[in-house]
Amino acid sequence: MAEILLFHHAQGLTPGVRHFAELLERAGHRVHVPDLYDGQTFDNLDEGIGNAQKIGFGTILERGRAAAEGLPEDLVYVGFSLGVLPAQLLAQTRAGARGALLLHAAVPPEEFGGAWPKGVPVQIHGMDADPSFVDEGDLEAARALVASTADAELFLYPGDGHLFTDDSLPEYDEQAAALLTERVLTFLAGIR
């Protein structure tokens, strides 16, 4: 069993994010799902990104860091898109991280102080034609991370949906989400 800190995407803590957390819990993991938006959700990605910009990405990171306070050190950090920012920050900078799952986004490790920590496995998942993932540097960051880290894997899925794992959004892709979930559960089962 892994203890997980899961961060939502820019549209907020949607029913789809909650459902993904429930899938992990049903597999026997303990999942913490903080709400970085204080209950707000947004109907589309542009509105959600606008909200994140209004709040400030620094504030999002600090809210993520605060969500980890009081939790054990040996967490697996999971982030959906915008949630990758606090997940990756904590995986790289908080002692004791057991792993990270970066869904729909990746950031160059240099943004959070340097190389990926040794012994902390990471999986990155995105769609191969998602403009947000491919054209905004996330795919490049993911490939660089995999090239420089022995415990890193990148999984690309056919399609152009960004938040394809959120079953409460129109871009949900059942087949890709099922494969991603299978890979995530295998990853978590291997965490020691």
Rounded to two decimals, what is the model's pTM?
0.96
pLDDT at 4: 98
Average pLDDT along the chain, 192 residues, taken 10 residues at a time: 97 98 97 96 94 95 97 97 98 96 96 92 98 96 95 97 97 98 97 81
pLDDT at 192: 72
d(CA 9, CA 21): 13
Q: What is the DSSP letter of 9?
A: B
pLDDT at 42: 96
Structural domain boundaries enclosing 15? 3-189
Query: Longest C-alpha distance within the chain, in Å?
Result: 39
pLDDT at 114: 83
Total domains present in the chain: 1
- Closest by CA to 148, choosing from 114, 185, 105, 179, is 114
CATH code for the domain of 24: 3.40.50.1820
